[in-house]
Chain A
């Protein structure tokens, strides 16, 4: 964990990020004083169990936290402080420079509009003076880039006419059309079956090497991050457990919790038996 001062190497610099909800029982923090950096063109994996605060972290970066949630700390994107940015300015970054891919591609696409419309509308709203026809062309190109066959025809289809994996490709095409500098993928493969998962991960890796965009991959599945990311942040109950180079964390985890996460991944050379579940001591017990 390098304590690098303000630098231009980093695309994203998160310091002291806290996300809390105001409840009847008082303030409940779901992300607590999180620090991490993402290098330009880097790929960061945020891993943890459900409820560890990883999705809230991504929504905090996007400025899309649900009603009743508040954030504090600093999120610096390409030298711009996002936490104090007016909504209008944030909107011009959202979707254009930072794009997001969500977990369930079926519910994340509007069933009432063709995928072409949904890809094109982001493009049209960020680029002024774009005609419908131009936006449609961009949509078709984006669909071709995510390897949707027969894109010129498929562009007029509705989300329900696509398979799960194809829908996620549509979601990725939607982000791609804007050529973002940062892509945040929140559990992009969780709703998909295993073979399709691998294809989507390959696609993400391919896009990253083609466009040089930074990637934050949020997942509970260590097998997923191991394929795509070079840097890892392990979270638990809103706390940062451990962070470092992916390779180092996989081979030499420093914390018990990380080790248990790793142990819970079934491996082909394991003896046949029960899957190991997480029975790690709680944060208090550990310290």
Chain B
């Protein structure tokens, strides 16, 4: 088990390092000179040079990359002398736009994105798995066809279309929901809930459609398994056959996919957050892309990669708990 964990952690480090390297290369090679951008309109070559030196942009590529990576672990210092700015670990640099530390910006917005992700995940898991079950039980009948049609619709509606239509319908036309405002949960739970409800629904619609199909396919496949026939031959009640012998094997693969989807969502829901004006990581990423705020984009990219990698590891660990074949295999 410990060896298994160590292996996974090593793999994680390698993946994150590569993500770091690639994002760094992309920004180093492809983007316009940040010093020119920061400098603004009334700029002299001297100021630009000064800025380049402060940001370390005059250094060769590997040296810059090394400063960036070591900054993540031990922090780094921008500039020198009395003007030097210390950036404590984990240092993701400063935003070119706001001059705030990128790490602080992320830390501020993470709760919003996490709230969006958790609520949406609960919703789509409940809706997707139960619709998938109904579909599987009623295979080929009306309910199955109806749900299948519904999933097709759910999968084909783009997030921004659904988001704007919902807003128009529920807030403007029907007035069922108040106009969204950022309120902390402790202040006004009702407003808080109605604020997040629409983003949750928008994100859950597409995902639950996918989960419905997955669940349906897995359950129907599991019901064909020989061990389900054995369970019937033992004279178990249909409920027991379902619960014990069909559901658990059928839902196991869904854990894997759920872990990754959820982790990916923690890195920010770009479109949904933007549509609903939620100040989360996704919106921050969208804003920094339009303004070419490199440190922020890199920080968000790294964060998303970090969550996906962690999510993967959690899924692997969960799997060992769920599937006895994996458990024993790793212990040996």
Chain A residues with CB under 8 Å of chain B are 62, 64, 91-96, 99-100, 102, 104, 107-114, 121-122, 125-126, 158, 160-161, 171, 174
Select A92's contact among B229, B235, B248, B324, beta carbons within 8 Å.
Answer: B235
Question: Are B233 and A110 in contact, CB atoms less than 8 angstroms apart?
Answer: no
Mask, B320-332, CB within 8 Å of A = 1, is: 0011110010000
> A112: which B residues are within 8 A, CB to CB?
248-249, 322-324
A64, B232: Cα distance in complex, Å: 8
Question: Does B226 interact with chain A (Cβ within 8 Å)?
Answer: yes
Given contacts A102-B230, A108-B226, A109-B227, whether A158 and B235 have CB atoms under 8 Å apart is: no
Instruction: Please report which residues of chain B, range 37-54, place their CB below 8 angstroms from some CB of chain A when the two chains form the complex.
Output: none
Q: B225 near A: Cβ within 8 Å?
A: yes
Contact digits for B228-260, partner A, Cβ 8 Å, 1 yes 0 no: 011111111100100011001100000000000
Please indicate which of the listed interface residues B236, B237, B248 has the most CB atoms of chain A within 10 Å of its own CB: B236
Distance in angstroms between the alpha carbons of A112 and B252 in the assembled complex: 10
Q: How far is the CA of A109 from the CA of B231 in the complex (A)?
A: 9
Task: Report yes or no: A158 in contact with B325, Cβ–Cβ below 8 A.
Answer: yes
- Residues from chain B with a CB closer than 8 A to the CB of A108 are 226-227, 229-230
Tell me, in angstroms, the Cα distance from A109 to B226 when the chains sit together: 8
**Contacts between chains A and B (CB distance < 8 A), count:** 76
Chain A residues with CB under 8 A of B323:
111-112
Q: How far is the CB of B251 from chain A (nearest CB, A)?
A: 11
Q: Is the CB of A125 within 8 A of B229?
A: no
Find residues 214-233 in chain B having any chain A CB closer than 8 Å to their own CB.
Answer: 225-227, 229-233
Tell me whether A110 and B231 are in contact in the complex, defined as CB-CB below 8 angstroms, given that A121-B244, A122-B236, A125-B237 are known contacts: yes
Known: A110-B249, A112-B248, A158-B328. Contact between A122 and B235, CB under 8 A?
yes
CB neighbours (8 Å) of A96 from chain B are: 235
Known: A122-B235, A174-B234. A111 touches B244 (CB 8 A): no
* Chain B: minimal CB distance from A257 (Å): 30
Best-buried of B227, B235, B323 by chain A (most CB within 10 Å): B235
Q: In the complex where A121-B240, A122-B235 touch, is A109 in contact with B230 (Cβ < 8 A)?
A: yes
With A102-B230, A158-B324 known, 11 other A-B pairs at CB within 8 A are A94-B235, A95-B233, A96-B235, A102-B229, A109-B227, A110-B244, A110-B245, A125-B234, A125-B240, A126-B235, A158-B325
A113 / chain B contacts, CB cutoff of 8 Å:
244
In the assembled complex, the Cα of A108 lies from the Cα of B233 at a distance in Å of 11
**A-contact bits for B189-232, CB 8 A (1 contact / 0 none):** 00000000000000000000000000000000000011101111
- Bound together, the chains give a CA A125 to CA B232 distance in angstroms of 12
Q: Give min CB distance, B237 to chain A, whole Å.
A: 7
Interface size on B, residues (CB 8 A): 22
Whether the pair A102, B226 counts as a contact (CB closer than 8 A) is yes
Shortest CB–CB separation between residue B170 and chain A, in angstroms?
43
Per-position binary interface string of chain B over residues 95-112, scored 1 when its CB falls under 8 Å from any chain A CB and 0 otherwise: 000000000000000000
B328's contact among A93, A125, A161, by CB below 8 Å, is which?
A161
Q: How far is the CB of A86 from chain B (nearest CB, A)?
A: 14
Residues of B within 8 A of A107 (CB): 225-227
Contact pick for A99, options B226, B233, B240, CB 8 Å:
B233
Chain B positions 297 through 332: 1 when the CB is less than 8 Å from some CB of chain A, otherwise 0 = 000000000000000000000000011110010000
Pick the 10 closest A-B CB pairs, nearest first.
A95-B235, A94-B235, A122-B234, A95-B234, A107-B226, A110-B227, A100-B233, A158-B324, A108-B226, A108-B230
Verify A121–B234 contact, CB threshold 8 A. Answer: yes
> Which residues from chain B contact A102 at a C-beta distance below 8 Å?
226, 229-230, 233
Can you sample 28 A-B contacts with CB below 8 Å? A91-B235, A91-B237, A92-B235, A94-B233, A94-B235, A95-B236, A96-B235, A99-B233, A100-B233, A102-B226, A108-B226, A108-B229, A109-B227, A110-B230, A110-B245, A111-B323, A111-B324, A111-B325, A112-B248, A112-B324, A113-B244, A122-B236, A125-B234, A125-B237, A158-B325, A161-B328, A171-B230, A174-B230
Instruction: Name the residue of chain A whose CB is nearest to the CB of B231.
Output: A110
Q: Which residues from chain A contact B225 at a C-beta distance below 8 Å? A: 107
CA distance A109 to B236 in the complex (A): 14
Inter-chain contacts of B231 with A (CB < 8 A) = 110
- Nearest neighbor of B139 in chain A, beta-carbon distance: A67
Docked complex Cα distance between A69 and B232 (Å): 17
Within 8 A of A (CB), among B260-289: none
Residue among A93, A109, A110, A174 with max Cβ neighbours from chain B (10 Å)? A110
Are A160 and B233 CB-contacts (below 8 A) given A107-B226, A111-B249? no
Asked if A64 and B229 make an inter-chain contact with CB atoms under 8 angstroms apart, the answer reads: yes
- Chain B residues in 8 Å Cβ range of A174: 230, 234
Complex: A102 Cα to B232 Cα, angstroms: 12
Least CB distance from B254 to A in Å reads 15
Min CB distance, B234 to chain A, in Å?
4
Residues of B within 8 A of A94 (CB): 232-235
Complex CA distance for A91 and B240, rounded to whole angstroms = 12
Q: A112-B324, A113-B244, A121-B244 are in contact. Are A62 and B226 (CB under 8 A)?
A: no
- Docked Cα-Cα span, A125 to B241, in Å, equals 11
B325, A93: Cβ atoms closer than 8 Å: no
| Bound form: Cα–Cα A93–B232 in Å | 11
- B236 and A125: CB pair below 8 A? yes
